[in-house]
Amino acid sequence: MTEKHVGSLKVVKFGGTSLADAGQVEKVVNIVRSDVSRRFVVVSAPGKRHSGDIKVTDLLIACAEARCAGRNAREEAAAVVERYASIQRAMGVEEKLVQEIAEDLRRRLASDTSDKKAFMDLIKAAGEDYCARLVAAVFLKNGVRARYVNPVEAGLLVSDEYGNAVVLKESYARLAKLRNETNVVVFPGFFGGTPSGGIATFPRGGSDISGAVLAAAVRADVYENFTDVDSVFAADPRIVPNARPVSIMTYREMRELSYAGFAVFHDEAIEPVVRAGIPINIRNTNKPDAPGTMITPHRDHVSGAVVGIAGAEGFCTIFIEKYLMNREIGFGRRLLQILEEERISYEHAPSGIDNMSVILRENAFAEEVECRVLERIRDELSPDDVSVERGLALIMIVGEGMHYCVGMASRATGALAKAGVNIEMMNQGSSEISMMFGVKATDRVKAIRALYDAFF
């Protein structure tokens, strides 16, 4: 494998399974060595080596919890250090590095625990930090001129919402300076520095965010995201075993599909690269020659072509009926205002002449909230009828080519009817690149299979 794209610049992010043990780290070395444009490497903490294994981040959480419960966490810390030591030994890197890691973890664990959330993030962030130090050492040992870069020192500034930090704007200009770096930069994902001098982490899986921020800051030509799957598939392979791989999709298509359950990316994770228009390439560390899936701002498309079908459970709908609703000025606003005042975010609001539905996520609409909301709707809007239906799944058919294509809806409804799936609700999004069906959650799998057969 020798791809030499001199001149272009790639930010390459490796997830936890790509760094789980020495064998995986060796693949990472080869991937980076094979392409000189891979100049920025963002790493997660070592993940699971097999299904029963524990991720380093989870081991670190156990360390922090032990300390907060007043225990010394020695055993838990030893398990963390051993994960790095096993990679260090197998890769022939100096043992000193592991001693430094053990010493740093001891220091972190000995720090003040009075602010539990801040303490937890300080410990969690260590997983990525140590991994980057170790990977940089492995690179050097293997002839790749590399340098570990500390995100805090490089200027990645985040809000102090521990465990849920948000990147602060000034980070971009600061990190942009790394563009002039001549060595391969090895950058730990998942955390940044807070304005008050602490460390805060992104939500779980947040190394994707670090990679995207860095890619936008250094104006990368491509953001490569190496994981453990060959590509994105046109439907969940657990539901449609031979689902077709997707070679290219647009940001919009990705957003719609991940909304309905595709585990491509955390939508918010890649906002920086989407804004900067940087293509994302999802690739497999275990099959580095496979082209993977490109996610781009635009693509050529064939009319009527569908890129993917997704379906997610966990939705419910409030259905409201009132004769002459269409003439009642402000009805929709007052309904949505009730939800706003109850701090409920709504997902969709399909409407008819005398009726309106609001689709919500079930986890945001507990039974006691439902009682309050329905009472307010009855009092404030005097509907003829109001009801709630739970246990819904939303199925999405997505494709840029669906825009202006005649007959898509009938193909979909025909397929669902043939499979005996009752459509509770149908909505062609205003984006016109998707069609959405509400079905009973128990029909989700059947619906996805039927639609896949109809469109692929």
Contact footprint for ligand ASP (CB under 6 A): 16, 44-45, 55, 57, 127, 189-190, 204-207
Query: Cβ 46 to ligand ASP, closest distance in Å?
Result: 9
Closer by beta carbon to ligand ASP, 44 or else 88 = 44
Name 393's bridge partners: 313, 439
The whole-angstrom separation of Cα 84 and Cα 94 is: 12
Closer by beta carbon to ligand ASP, 134 or else 433 = 134
Question: Does an H or E element contain 108, and which?
Answer: helix 96-109
Closer by beta carbon to ligand ASP, 45 or else 220 = 45
Residue 447's CB is within 10 A of a number of other CB atoms, namely 25
Query: Cβ 266 to ligand ASP, closest distance in Å?
Result: 9
Is-contact 219 181, C-beta < 8 A?
no
Pairing of strands 146-148, 10-14: unpaired
Closer by beta carbon to ligand ASP, 207 or else 281 = 207
Query: Cβ 273 to ligand ASP, closest distance in Å?
Result: 16
- Angle separating helix axes 56-68 and 116-124, nearest 10 degrees: 150
The whole-angstrom separation of Cα 456 and Cα 454 is: 6
Closer by beta carbon to ligand ASP, 127 or else 261 = 127
* Residues 294, 295, 296, 300, Cα dihedral to 10°: 70
Q: Would residue 236 be called left, alpha or beta, if left means φ above 0 and alpha means ψ between -120 and 50 degrees?
A: beta
Query: Cβ 205 to ligand ASP, closest distance in Å?
Result: 5
List, as own/partner pairs, every contact residues 324-332 make where C-beta atoms lie below 8 angstroms and the sequence separation is at least 24, other chains included: 324/354, 325/353, 325/354, 325/355, 325/356, 326/353, 326/354, 331/356, 331/381, 332/356
Closer by beta carbon to ligand ASP, 26 or else 58 = 58
Query: Cβ 127 to ligand ASP, closest distance in Å?
Result: 5
DSSP, collapsed to helix, strand or coil, labels residue 208 as helix
Extract the tokens encoding 139: 């690179």
Query: Cβ 163 to ligand ASP, closest distance in Å?
Result: 10
Query: Cβ 190 to ligand ASP, closest distance in Å?
Result: 4
The full DSSP string for 59-86 is HHHHHHHHHHTT---HHHHHHHHHHHHH
Closer by beta carbon to ligand ASP, 207 or else 293 = 207
Query: Cβ 188 to ligand ASP, closest distance in Å?
Result: 10
Q: Would residue 199 be called left, alpha or beta, if left means φ above 0 and alpha means ψ between -120 and 50 degrees?
A: beta
The whole-angstrom separation of Cα 273 and Cα 91 is: 33
Closer by beta carbon to ligand ASP, 13 or else 444 = 13
Query: Cβ 39 to ligand ASP, closest distance in Å?
Result: 21
Closer by beta carbon to ligand ASP, 130 or else 148 = 130
